[in-house]
Amino acid sequence: MKTSHDESRVVALVPAAGQGVRLGESMPKAFVPVGGSPMLTVAVDGLIASGVVDRIVIMVPAEWRAQAEALVHVNSRVPISVVTGGSERTDSVRAGLAAAPEATHVLVHDAARALTPPSLIARVVAELRAGSRAVVPGVPVADTIKSVDSDGEVTGTPDRSVLRAVQTPQGFRAQLLREAYAHDVPATDDAGLVERLGVRVRVIPGDPLAFKITTPLDLRLANALLAERELSELSQAVRP
Ligand code: CTP
Ligand code: MG
């Protein structure tokens, strides 16, 4: 819980500007419905429900800004800004960072991880408050992973027990993430840029529900999980 002396400001940046090529729907992925609401709305609701976020900045394709504003401004308890993202995910995060000058701590949380439990979001912020400068949720990998060369020949089999599949939200001291983003290098996650500065990144246990909706199969799974959740909420509501 915050005190009146707490000067910290946690801003969540939500990359939602991707096209969703692998999902193959007719609109950008963040606007595709899951459980009846756009993925972006579900992800933002999770951030608000965590109770640990002071402001939210959403990055969307330029031509979807008006739709995004209409979706997320309805009765939000947390101030929300919508900005234009960029062509790569790193460009979108950089745009979000520029729109969050007051942040002392930043969460970067993919709209595509719409089912992320609020409790995971709270655990990432708790770890930042406990002093970590960079925190990522991670889960053990189920498959054996191989590295391959351009001919498809195996070049190695890393020990699976030391591997983690990382999720979002990834949490950072704001100043650290700004430094990491001062360099224009490609990266598939934000922690990767921080690692290049030689800073330690802490992995905390992730949650299977924080999976990224990437393919049509993922979308079916997300819809099935939300339908189940709705059914169980309904049955609780009618119980005497
Ligand atoms: N993202 C973004 N800006 C980009 C690319 C991606 O804000 N230029 C966001 C996506 O909207 C998504 C998150 O980053 O919420 C994770 O990216 P990914 O799952 O790869 O989404 P897409 O890039 O939309 O999907 P694809 O790679 O299949 O096109
Ligand atoms: Mg992508």
pLDDT digits (tens, 9 = 90+) for 220-239: 999 999 999 988 888 888 87
Specify the residue with its C-alpha closest to ligand 1, atom 1: 18
Rg of the chain over Cα atoms, rounded to whole angstroms, equals 18
> Per-residue pLDDT tens for 142-181?
999 999 999 999 999 999 999 999 999 999 999 999 999 9
Q: Is 87 helix (H, G, I), strand (E, B) or coil?
A: coil
Q: Is 123 in the pocket of ligand 1 (CB under 6 A)?
A: no
Q: Is 130 helix (H, G, I), strand (E, B) or coil?
A: coil
Q: What is the pLDDT of residue 5?
A: 56
The token pair at 214 is: 């990437």
Q: Is 128 helix (H, G, I), strand (E, B) or coil?
A: helix
Q: Is 38 in the pocket of ligand 1 (CB under 6 A)?
A: no
* Burial of residue 103, with CB atoms counted within 10 A of its CB: 0-12 exposed, 13-18 middle, 19 or more buried: buried
Residues 6+ apart with CB under 8 A from 142: none
Probe ligand 1: pick from 64, 110, 214, max atoms within 8 Å of CB?
110
Q: Is 130 in the pocket of ligand 1 (CB under 6 A)?
A: no
Q: Is 87 in the pocket of ligand 1 (CB under 6 A)?
A: yes
Q: In a structure prediction context, what are the per-residue pLDDT tens digits for the chain, which is 240 residues long?
A: 455 457 899 999 999 999 999 999 999 999 999 999 999 999 999 999 999 999 999 999 999 999 999 998 766 899 999 999 999 999 999 999 999 999 999 999 999 999 999 999 999 999 999 999 999 999 999 999 999 999 999 999 999 999 999 999 999 999 999 999 998 888 889 999 999 999 999 999 999 999 999 999 999 999 999 999 988 888 888 877
Distance CA(181)–CA(177), nearest Å, equals: 6
Distance CA(232)–CA(194), nearest Å, equals: 41
Task: Give the predicted TM-score (pTM) of the model.
Answer: 0.95
Strands 55-60 and 10-15 come out as parallel
